[in-house]
Amino acid sequence: MSRRALVTGGSGGIGAAICRRLAADGCHVLIHANRHREAADTLAEALRAEGGSAEVVCFDVTDAAATATAIDSLLEGGPVQILVNNAGIHDDAVFPGMSDAQWTRVIDVNLNGFFHVTQPLTMPMIRTRWGRIITITSVAAIAGNRGQTNYAAAKGALHSATRTLSLELASRGITVNAVAPGVIETDMSAGSFPPETLARLVPMKRAGRPEEVADLVGFLASDQAAYITGQIISVNGGMI
């Protein structure tokens, strides 16, 4: 039976590429969306047309109750053995001008969202004695980035959560890793990095493609990656 893989933020650029990769690897993909359900529906149809298996699930990861209800109903369909925590936002401002709302919202989506989704899936995953938890973070959490104190704090906390959770789950056949992308071509980064800025920031002098993140996620989700856990792995064209 194919493994069931939940990809949060599957309606977005990197998430969609991860869904495509996991579907190509034979998973039944649970494509998550929040506001853009149509994007997830279109992707699910495309994956099914290619012979893959996919369904769509919608919830706001900041809403603990709605997330718990959605996860419960997903679990009624069988175990979720691969979780990709990819949903995320940024809302940048230099720190002296950052509002309480900007700080709180970015922490809420990126960090509390991780808790709301991952926590209820952990015990059922333990029962199956096989699991993969992969969280998409950012180079900003490692190198810092002006204007992203809130985002870097949230993603950095996810690195610490990844390391700690990996220790708790290592003996249960569950690996927990983070993938830290640099600049990747999606709606989130669109317009933020003109070519001259990319050339200065990125030794490879280009943005990464969502598929280049998805390929690493696909590997980490596979049986071949069974001995890799607690790691923060960068995909950033040599930025750090």
Catalytic residues: 151
Binding positions for ligand NDP, 216-235, rule CB under 6 A = none
Q: Virtual CA dihedral for 65, 176, 74, 129, nearest 10 degrees? A: -130
Note whether 60 binds ligand NDP by CB under 6 A: yes
Show the DSSP H helices in the chain as ranges: 13-24, 37-49, 64-76, 100-107, 113-128, 140-143, 149-169, 195-201, 210-220
Tell me: does residue 30 bind ligand NDP (CB under 6 A). Answer: no
CB 43 within 8 A of CB 15: no
CB 135 to ligand NDP: min, Å: 8
Binding mask 119-138 for ligand NDP (x = CB under 6 A): -----------------x-x
Binding mask 91-110 for ligand NDP (x = CB under 6 A): ------------------x-
Cβ proximity to ligand NDP, 128 vs 185, nearer residue: 185
What is the rounded distance in angstroms from the CA atom of residue 112 to the CA atom of residue 118?
10
14 contributes a contact to ligand NDP by CB under 6 A: yes
Q: Judged by CB, which is closer to ligand NDP: 22, or 224?
A: 22
Tell me: does residue 165 bind ligand NDP (CB under 6 A). no
The rounded distance, in Å, linking the Cα atoms of 7 and 24 is 14
Residue with tokens 């800025």: 197
Query: Can you tell me which of 29, 71, 169, 183 binds ligand NDP, judged by CB under 6 A?
Result: 183
The 196-215 contact track toward ligand NDP, x by CB under 6 A, reads --------------------
DSSP state of 3: P
Window 133 to 162, contacts with ligand NDP (CB under 6 A)? 136, 138
d(CA 16, CA 36): 12
Residue 208 vs 223, nearer CB to ligand NDP: 208
* Residue 143 burial (C-beta neighbours within 10 Å; 0-12, 13-18, 19+): middle
- Residue 38 corresponds to which tokens in the numbers above? 């149509």
Q: Where along the sequence are the contacts to ligand NDP (CB under 6 A)?
A: 8-9, 11-15, 33-36, 60-62, 86-89, 109, 136, 138, 181, 183-184, 186-189
